[in-house]
Amino acid sequence: MESRYNPADIEKKWQAAWADQELDQTSEDAGQPKYYALSMFPYPSGNLHMGHVRNYTITDVIARVRRMQGFRVLHPMGWDAFGLPAENAAIQRGVPPADWTLKNIDQMRDQLRALGLSYDWGREVATCLPNYYRWTQWIFLQFFEAGLAYQKEAAVNWDPIDQTVLANEQVDSEGRSWRSGAKVERKLLRQWFFKITDYAEQLLNDLAQLDGWPDRVKTMQANWIGKSTGAQVTFKTEVGDELVVYTTRPDTLWGATFMVISPEHPLIARLTTAGQQGAIAAYQATAATLSTIDRTAEGREKTGVWTGSHAINPVNGAKIPIWTADYVMMDYGTGAIMAVPAHDQRDFEFARKFGLPIKAVVQLEGEALDGATMTEAYTGTGVMVNSGPLDGVMAGKGKGQSVGVAIAHLEAKQIGHGTTNYRLRDWLVSRQRYWGAPIPIIHCEDCGAVAVPDEDLPVELPQNVEFTGKGASPLSKMEDWISVPCPNCGKPARRETDTMDTFLDSSWYFLRYPDAGNDEQVFAPEKVNDWLPVDQYVGGIEHAILHLLYSRFFTKVLRDRGLLNFDEPFKKLLTQGMVQAMAYKNPITGKYFAAEDLADPNHPVDPKTGDALVTTYEKMSKSKFNGVAPSDVVDKYGADTARMFILFKAPPEKDLEWDDADVEGQFRFLNRVWRTATAHAENGGRTNGDSSLQGDLTKPEKALRRAIHTAIQAITEDLEGDYQFNTAVSELMKLNNALGDAKDILDSAIYNEGVETLLRLLAPFSPHLAEDLWHSLGYESSIHREAWPKSNPQAFVVDEITLVVQVMGKTRGTIQVPASSDKATLEQLARESDVAQKFMEGKTVKKVIVVPGKLVNFVVA
């Protein structure tokens, strides 16, 4: 045995041994219940951060415990490896994206191994490899065949200098290109979409099945889907066209005093009169430079231009002007709204700015609203006024109230109808970039969009591509790659040059792990239907909407294609909190400083200006100079200490505040465990004898055994349900302390049971140390193949209890009494005790109150 705890040597030794033994290979024993534990896979940036460490440590503990509990566990890892950073690296440093990405994967895989994570590396996937994206392309074609993939024009970010499409991440906060500095414009391009809206109702309704998901995440998804009921209404225009609007409040149609259409609306050219063409063109150009976030920002001053045309309000025949404004988005609703300024604040602000009429149609009884004097929109309840057939009807969506009455009126007049609408829009899945899965479509002038035949998949990315960051997508310049015969007619045709949104890659990766080596099909359905749904999924709250929603969508589509027999991919979801560290910020300049650049971090000031700095815990990041590299912690303290700190510092769903002192505290605790177990090993280690015979045990042995089984029960409960890893670590500390207090029974079978139980309970948290100490006790097999301890109810049986002695209701002390004592015996023992004698001397007992098992109270005079 080593004379001291040396994590560096121990961890390397056991990581190599586990790899040789294939200890973490997934069991295929059908006789065991299955358990699929999965962390959201990372983008291979090249370096792990502490957020990764927290996510993966949590899932690893769950996987290790389930193995010890007798489950066959699938616990895989892979790489979300397509994406913009690799293409940027190619532009900036001339490194091919594949080389940059695969090098980063190798580096990060080594970092994961160093943490002692029990992954089945034989199931590793990387989304950028042809053996994976071949099947991403195959899935795309499943959507295409099902009529769920289609093309239409949509707006993109356009750099007018570099003449290229930019991702949102390449546009800075001022709306400028990251590379050229040009003001980014919005430009229409023909793009691919998935019809996720066909599944909106299922995606919403099936949230009710997800009992193991946080309510917060389900609410976020429900809001994103955004189901609402209302009416679709048709307005005729002066030039004979029709503008269709959707409204949740058709009862306020009588208060519509103008219409607003998006600057991108297809009818805007026809609706613009000659005198307004210049103003409209200028406004459209300005709107094209703004992001969706800019255009819809709360409190932003309203802008707009009149088209010169009017529409006819279908319920009262009023002629109302048609304006265009950038706060109306073409990809939401119909791209046109009826404006009711008296009862919508955004419309009210627009009307006030441009002098448009305001007509109230809802008001409290007896309180007449005057549009000319209103200072804000009225959005409260009341009765309908100035609304023809709705006058006097209570405003609202209840039975017999105004919304239902209005819909009935619209349908009777055949000018509108009730309908359901969703905020959710179809998913734009095409990207004008190189580093992504090519879309497997060939465009033929005669046949249209044609699927690449299955036998020709994968459509591989061409090599020797020049990356300049300018002009069209690199793929669109690869003429030899683009020009192909049409699979249908054989005539000259052209490949699709867009690649897929990387969210497609991550929307099905969890389905690949159960059959990752399959070269013949996307996966064997019987294997996936055996392992899925994922029993425990772990990842950040930032993925609550897009990734999780798209994964649910993919699952439902592949179910409908006959591949899956389940509705939802993830049974339980844990969204771990952020890892935060102290940040030092100048509140005047907004500049952050690293702690090592400060003369005194306890009284921080700006080194240049002398301004006092504000200190707050913020998410670790390079820009805030408050990151802690996992490798630094592992090098100094070992992976087991890093894991223990991550698990102990905060409940998993809460944010974790980094504290070097607490890291040191966990290192000291593991040293105490080291001393406990090595001392036991040197004292002979494993001891013969049956520790289950409670009646044969001494009083100290019974006390220790009770502590052992209390720890087993508490830790087991902490590792179910909501996962209270922090309190589980506290219980490990208590058990180690109990062993330290049992110096009189070091040679007993109970003490041996205590040490071995401590190590087995510790193994999922601190796998290297537990393994090393287990072998020091003389065991040859891995502790990770041992069974999880089970608590024995007999261990909680006590011979004695602590009885509180009170005089006149005041506690005067405690005594130990036989647990089986009846009321009379308890009174006698309490009366005879030194405690009672001291406080009742010379007094007469008037009454005795006995609460069995708890206290005796003497009332004296």
188 vs 676, more confident = 676
Q: What average pLDDT score do residues 465-489 get?
A: 92
Instruction: State yes or no: cis peptide before 533, omega within 30 of 0.
Output: yes
What would the pLDDT profile of 757-800 be if each residue is shown by its tens digit? 999 999 999 999 999 999 999 999 999 999 999 999 888 888 88
Highest average pLDDT, of 108-117, 161-170, 594-603, 624-633, comes from: 108-117
181 vs 308, more confident = 308
Q: DSSP 3-state assignment of 276?
A: helix
**How many percent of the chain have pLDDT more than 90?**
82
Predicted confidence band at 695 (pLDDT cuts at 50, 70, 90)?
low
pLDDT value at residue 472: 82
Task: Note whether 529 and 564 are within 8 A (CB).
Answer: yes
What would the pLDDT profile of 544-558 be if each residue is shown by its tens digit? 889 999 999 999 999
Can you tell me the distance from the alpha carbon of 87 to that of 473, in angstroms, rounded to the nearest whole number?
11
Q: What average pLDDT score do residues 671-679 get?
A: 96
Can you tell me the distance from the alpha carbon of 737 to that of 716, in angstroms, rounded to the nearest whole number?
19
Alpha-helix runs per DSSP H in 611-724: 630-637, 639-648, 660-682, 699-718
Of 484, 504, 493, 480, whose CA–CA distance to 430 is shortest?
504
Highest average pLDDT, of 7-16, 185-194, 285-294, comes from: 7-16
Can you tell me the distance from the alpha carbon of 692 to that of 269, in angstroms, rounded to the nearest whole number?
88
Can you tell me the distance from the alpha carbon of 332 to that of 352, in angstroms, rounded to the nearest whole number?
25
Predicted confidence band at 689 (pLDDT cuts at 50, 70, 90)?
very low
pLDDT of residue 531 exceeding 90: yes
What would the pLDDT profile of 31-86 be if each residue is shown by its tens digit? 999 999 999 999 999 999 999 999 999 999 999 999 999 999 999 999 999 988 89
Residues 6 or more apart whose Cβ sits within 8 Å of residue 525: 563, 564, 565
User: What does the DSSP 8-state code read for residue 612?
Assistant: B
User: What does the DSSP 8-state code read for residue 577?
Assistant: P
Can you tell me the distance from the alpha carbon of 553 to that of 564, in angstroms, rounded to the nearest whole number?
13
pLDDT value at residue 798: 80
Two structure tokens written together for 602: 């306890």
Can you tell me the distance from the alpha carbon of 537 to that of 199, in angstroms, rounded to the nearest whole number?
23
Q: What is the mean pLDDT of the chain?
A: 93
Can you tell me the distance from the alpha carbon of 324 to that of 267, in angstroms, rounded to the nearest whole number?
11
What would the pLDDT profile of 140-193 be if each residue is shown by its tens digit? 999 999 999 999 988 788 888 877 788 676 777 777 887 788 888 878 889 999
pLDDT of residue 542 exceeding 50: yes
Of 490, 280, 250, whose CA–CA distance to 362 is shortest?
250
721 vs 103, more confident = 103
3-state helix, strand, coil in the chain (%, to 5): 40, 20, 40
E strand or H helix at 807 = strand 800-807
Q: Are strands 800-807 and 810-818 parallel, antiparallel or unpaired?
A: antiparallel
Predicted confidence band at 126 (pLDDT cuts at 50, 70, 90)?
very high
Q: DSSP 3-state assignment of 336?
A: strand
Can you tell me the distance from the alpha carbon of 765 to that of 725, in angstroms, rounded to the nearest whole number?
9
Task: Note whether 41 and 506 are within 8 A (CB).
Answer: yes
C-alpha neighbours within 13 Å on the C-beta side of residue 690:
5
What would the pLDDT profile of 552-585 be if each residue is shown by its tens digit? 999 999 999 999 999 999 999 999 999 999 999 9
- Count of other CB atoms within 10 angstroms of residue 334: 17
Q: Name the least confident of 238-252, 428-442, 694-708.
A: 694-708
Residues 6 or more apart whose Cβ sits within 8 Å of residue 661: none
Alpha-helix runs per DSSP H in 94-242: 97-114, 130-145, 200-205, 215-225
Task: Note whether 281 and 264 are within 8 A (CB).
Answer: no
- Tell me phi and psi for residue 34, to 5 degrees: -90, 155
pLDDT value at residue 235: 97
- Tell me phi and psi for residue 146, to 5 degrees: -85, 0
Task: Note whether 335 and 158 are within 8 A (CB).
Answer: no
Of 374, 337, 345, 346, whose CA–CA distance to 359 is shortest?
374
Predicted confidence band at 491 (pLDDT cuts at 50, 70, 90)?
very high
Task: Note whether 193 and 148 are within 8 A (CB).
Answer: no
String of b and e for 78-106 (b: at least 16 CB within 10 Å)?
bbbbbbbbbbbbbeeeeebbbebbbebbe
Q: DSSP 3-state assignment of 195?
A: coil
Q: DSSP 3-state assignment of 545?
A: coil
Can you tell me the distance from the alpha carbon of 605 to that of 314, in angstroms, rounded to the nearest whole number?
66
As beta bridge partners, residue 192 has 151
Q: DSSP 3-state assignment of 459?
A: coil
> Maximum Cα–Cα distance for the chain, whole Å?
117
Q: Nearest 5°: CA angle at 461, between 489 and 185? A: 95
Predicted confidence band at 492 (pLDDT cuts at 50, 70, 90)?
very high
Of 731, 733, 711, 727, whose CA–CA distance to 791 is shortest?
711
Residues 6 or more apart whose Cβ sits within 8 Å of residue 27: 72, 73
pTM reported for the whole predicted model: 0.88
